[in-house]
Structure 1
Amino acid sequence: MNSLRRIGSVTAKEFKHLARDRLTLGMIVMLPLIQLLLFGYAINTMVRNIPIAVVDLSNSAVGRVITEQVRVTQVVEITAHYATPAEARDAIIAGRVRAALVLPEDLPHRVANGTTVGQWLVDGSDTMVGSALLGLRQMPLHLEAGTPAGAYQAQAPSFEIALFFNPERRSQVNIVPGLTAVILTMTMILFTSVALVREREKGNMEMLITTPIRPLELMVGKLVPYIFVGTLQISIIIGLGWTVFDVAFLGDYLNLAVITFSFIGASLTLGLLISTQAKTQMQAMQMTVFVLLPSILLSGFMFPYDAMPVAAQYIAEALPATHFVRLIRGVYLRDAQLGQLAPDILWLLGFTAVMLTVATLRFQKTLD
């Protein structure tokens, strides 16, 4: 009986502690609520609205009919037109489109003879997107061919498919670069989210306040060691990806360094902002999980970004991991250049500046 009374006292004390800890209480309720609604709405394995380009060398009515029949499948969304296949390939490398439909000059003649009517140039580095576009290879076409047979329906595959960057359709080619973003997100944000909290819990904050160091200097000093940690981690990932999974790095190492430091800076400063908000290391870890799960599920690492609803895409765009997934796959697999990736790089740099400024201002307020 006394044992039950003591257990009841401890239980009551723990409930009171949870009730007073508003952040933990909010996480208990809001974490499953928000994430279930968000992910249940956003995650979609049925790939739709893949951005593609069209290169219609025939400039014919038949070409326009084929283009419209491809569009109404809703698997793709035509976002650009190019004059040559080379321009379309550059757009695929830059990540502006995921594929290009090339219709040859002799398209009416091909339609009349019942032969292959065009070619898909596909970014095969994302296997789910590649598989969705491969499904269009067998798409029947209903066209007026100008022959006695009247309407022509393709019996053989309607299009040829050229899979760039991953012709073998190996999932490791897509996963290894994406894991770089996930691992760095998890470690960089988690390490720095507990940085200031750890100083408070160990009683070192009072000593830091009495030193001449400025808040911005303290923030930068907290970040520098983890930049080297992130560099070591990405070196390990690339090395193991090459030796163990046979995923070769095709890009330029200088470009890799630029995008990696941009992303590390964004992740570290986000962790610092969390550190200025959390009161304990447990709270910091809980808040990190709140960022980590959307970064894994909405960044395009596991599920195609283009298949998400527009509202979910807006949320994904606010996450540094979304931009880095595009960058690392572009440099790692497609040898994309910095100029082609400039929008995502500039976004990460701007995010870093904003988060560092906000974290510094919040830290100054805690000194008052």
Structure 2
Amino acid sequence: MSRFFSFGRLWALLTKETIQMRRDRLTFAMMLGIPLFQLILFGYAINTDPKQLPAALVAPTQDRFTRAMVSALELTGYYRFVTVGATAGEAEEMIARGDVAFVVTVPSDFGRRVERGDSPVILIEADATDPSVASGAISTLSTVAAEALSRETGEEAQNALNAAKQLSVIVHRRYNPEGITQYNIVPGLLGVILQLTMVMMTSMALTRETERGTMENLLSMPATPFEIMLGKVMPYLAVGAVQVVVVLLAAKALFDIPFVGSLPLILIGVFVFVLALVILGYLISTVARTQMQAMQLTFFFFLPSLMLSGFMFPFRGMPVWAQMLGEVFPLTHFLRLIRSVMLKGADAVTVAGSFGALALFVALLAGAALLRFRRTLD
């Protein structure tokens, strides 16, 4: 047996590491779960050419030409009209909230202009906060609408056929008319950066105490679980505040991101989001036994949240089951809130749904963390 190398010693070390890895069930589950989860998401949920985008139709007189055009747009696969009788005010609220990606407005004299041979006009308003979502659908508009009118006129008068050929489709790219990608990415980066750092740092709060052997001292203090949780998460709220200031200043100075909405509303939304993140990290710290496990659980939460929230890929391009799964992540609602306020100038009423979802996350995560911490006291 050589003192430099021995198969016996090597085998003993391999056996020891195998047993240790088998006992660490969380790490073993992460090794298998993360690749499988990513494969399913990228294979089934991710779609860079979104279809079935929700749209609203504003048409005071829904004649046969209007119905033919709507049917043709739906047959392209890009449009899904969730409402066909909206008023201009209702459609404006829907696109501001993000309920629809397009508003198709057909004038009341549209059918008469087609029959007279005049040049008919329709207006398409597209939510261009995410340029990649609207590009494919907009590219099909003029050709599809003109062909639909040509088929509807059939063998009728030549002036109607000429009107169909002269159809004008006016496209308004709302909120980001130049299609600048940074307007969509940079506000979302604020949420991504906060999620990665806040959850990871907070998740190591209690696990660090356990590994250092100071957990017993913490538990012996005359403090309630709620006070301990506040003492652990509040310092990271201050860290998050610094990150928010840095990102917002950089967004304005480097990328000239427009701040159309209310800055206090943005800061309130960021505060609720950060509060949900640090409580989530605290909940993870009550589950993990080591800092490595806490980091693994953080990434297991971070990766699907990043892919299903609408930051990397269009949210409406995912299948329904993936969109439902994306709704359980705070980042999804924060992205809607921050983009609506910064780019659309939305008020508190418009983003009330996103605020409510984030507040619900705070309440549920705080309750779960307190219950889990009490169980760890035994």
**Which residue number corresponds to residue 311 of structure 2?**
301
Are the structure 2 counterparts of residues 220 and 81 from structure 1 closer, same or farther at C-alpha, using a change threshold of 3 Å? farther
Preserved contact between residue 142 and residue 151 of structure 1 (Cα < 8 Å): no
Cα RMSD (Å): 1.9
**Which residue number corresponds to residue 52 of structure 2?**
49
1:105-124 paired onto structure 2 within 5 Å: 105-112=108-115, 113=117, 115-124=119-128
Task: Give the whole-Å Cα distance in 2 for the aligned partners of 1:274 and 1:156.
Answer: 61
1:151-230 paired onto structure 2 within 5 Å: 154-155=164-165, 158-230=168-240
Secondary structure of the corresponding residue to residue 126 of structure 2: strand
Preserved contact between residue 120 and residue 163 of structure 2 (Cα < 8 Å): no
TM-score by length of 1: 0.94
Task: Give the whole-Å Cα distance in 2 for the aligned partners of 1:209 and 1:156.
Answer: 78
Preserved contact between residue 138 and residue 156 of structure 1 (Cα < 8 Å): no
Preserved contact between residue 110 and residue 120 of structure 2 (Cα < 8 Å): no
**Unpaired stretches in structure 1, ≥5 consecutive residues:** none
Task: Give the whole-Å Cα distance in 1 for the aligned partners of 2:62 and 2:324.
Answer: 36
Secondary structure of the corresponding residue to residue 158 of structure 2: coil
**Which residue number corresponds to residue 85 of structure 1?**
88
Secondary structure of the corresponding residue to residue 270 of structure 2: helix
Preserved contact between residue 198 and residue 278 of structure 2 (Cα < 8 Å): yes
**Which residue number corresponds to residue 67 of structure 2?**
64
Q: Does 1:23 align with 2:26?
A: yes
Preserved contact between residue 177 and residue 325 of structure 1 (Cα < 8 Å): yes
Matched residue count: 368
Secondary structure of the corresponding residue to residue 262 of structure 1: helix
Aligned-pair CA distance for 1:157? 6.4
One-letter amino acid of the structure 2 residue matched with residue 121 of structure 1: E
Matching residue within 280, 285, 295 for 1:275? 285
Secondary structure of the corresponding residue to residue 255 of structure 2: coil
Preserved contact between residue 197 and residue 275 of structure 1 (Cα < 8 Å): yes
Task: Give the whole-Å Cα distance in 2 for the aligned partners of 1:210 and 1:110.
Answer: 82
Q: Does 1:349 align with 2:359?
A: yes
Preserved contact between residue 119 and residue 161 of structure 1 (Cα < 8 Å): yes
Preserved contact between residue 49 and residue 133 of structure 2 (Cα < 8 Å): no
Preserved contact between residue 190 and residue 244 of structure 2 (Cα < 8 Å): yes
Preserved contact between residue 89 and residue 121 of structure 1 (Cα < 8 Å): no
Preserved contact between residue 114 and residue 160 of structure 2 (Cα < 8 Å): no
**Which residue number corresponds to residue 103 of structure 1?**
106
Preserved contact between residue 188 and residue 226 of structure 1 (Cα < 8 Å): yes
Task: Give the whole-Å Cα distance in 2 for the aligned partners of 1:37 and 1:268.
Answer: 28
**Unpaired stretches in structure 2, ≥5 consecutive residues:** none
**Which residue number corresponds to residue 134 of structure 2?**
130
One-letter amino acid of the structure 1 residue matched with residue 219 of structure 2: I
One-letter amino acid of the structure 2 residue matched with residue 178 of structure 1: G
Preserved contact between residue 142 and residue 152 of structure 1 (Cα < 8 Å): no
Secondary structure of the corresponding residue to residue 140 of structure 2: helix
Are the structure 2 counterparts of residues 240 and 154 from structure 1 closer, same or farther at C-alpha, using a change threshold of 3 Å? farther
